[in-house]
Structures are given as C-alpha cells and as structure tokens.
Amino acid sequence: ASNRTFTMIKPDAVEKGHIGGILNMITEGGFRIVAMKLTQLTVADAQKFYAVHAERPFFGELVEFMTRGPIVAAILEKDNAVEDFRALIGATNPAEAAEGTIRKKYATSIGENAVHGSDSDENAAIEGAFHFAGREMF
C-alpha cells in the first residue's frame, strides 16, 4: 500500500471554524502534512471529483455543497495512510461514526460531513495530483 492519502476539510467545517481542530486531530493521529492549501472547487471541479456519484439522487446537492465556500486540500503521509485515515475520520453518516473520530466530533449530517478521505491508493494519487504540483509537495 502507498503511504499517502488525500483529504479535504469541507466547506461546512471551514465555515464553522474547525480547520485548526481537524488539523490537530490529523497530526495527533500520526499523519505528516505533505502538501496543504485553502482553495475553492468550481462546479466543474466538483462534478469531475465526484463523477462516480453522478447518477445518485444527491449529486446536485453534493456539488452545490462542495462549491459553496473554501476548503482545505491536503496530502497526508503515514504507513497505511488510506485505511488509517478512513478510520480516523469515521463513517460517512456522523450518526454512525465512532467515538473519537473527526466526523463524530465535527460532522453535522451525511452530506455535510466535515472531511473527505480517499478510498484507495489510486484515487489518493489522482486526487492529490488534481490539487498540487510536485513542487508543492514536501
């Protein structure tokens, strides 16, 4: 397995002032920040990023949500990064997220769930390269 994953702190969490709290949980969880920026997805970016969900009934809502304000995009490094980060963020639905997870603490709903974590090594590489040039990775 690759040792990198990609994350976004989503607009809901940025709006509520949770960037610092979430970054603290990420670094306390043993992840090293390789790349990071405050940015905003365009509608085209979000449609491309979530293309796998294009046929889902919530797709329009998802694109609108993810483009409504700035996000923090970051590449993270740790052994077993993809799997360990998904454990740290918790279930998609915060009502099902385990105690001690980022979504348990900061997510409000299944849609506005505070953070993204890549679901595979392949997608982590694609998603990271979408946001960062090689010279922005440390």
Which residues are known catalytic residues?
116
Question: What is the biggest distance separating any 2 CA atoms in the chain, rounded to whole angstroms?
Answer: 39
* Lookup result for tokens 């397995």: 1
Give me the half-sphere count of Cα atoms (radius 13 Å) on the Cβ side of residue 137.
14
> According to the binding rule CB under 6 A, does residue 33 interact with ligand CMP?
no
Residue 91 lies near ligand CMP (rule: CB under 6 A): no
Q: Point out which span in 21-29, 73-81, 106-114, 122-130 binds ligand CMP (CB under 6 A).
A: 106-114
Query: Was 93 annotated as part of a binding site?
Result: no
One-letter amino acid for residue 129 of the chain: A
52 contacts: CB under 8 Å, gap ≥ 6: none
67 makes contact with ligand CMP (CB under 6 A): no
The total number of residues written for the chain in this structure: 138
Q: Please name every residue paired with 72 in a beta bridge, in sequence order, or none if there are none.
A: 9, 38
Confirm or reject binding of residue 108 to ligand CMP (CB under 6 A).
Answer: no
Footprint on residues 47-66 left by ligand CMP (CB under 6 A): 53, 58, 61-62
- Applying CB under 6 A, the residues found at the interface with ligand CMP are 53, 58, 61-62, 92, 110-111, 113, 116
Query: What residue numbers does the annotated binding site for ATP cover?
Result: 10, 58, 86, 92, 103, 113
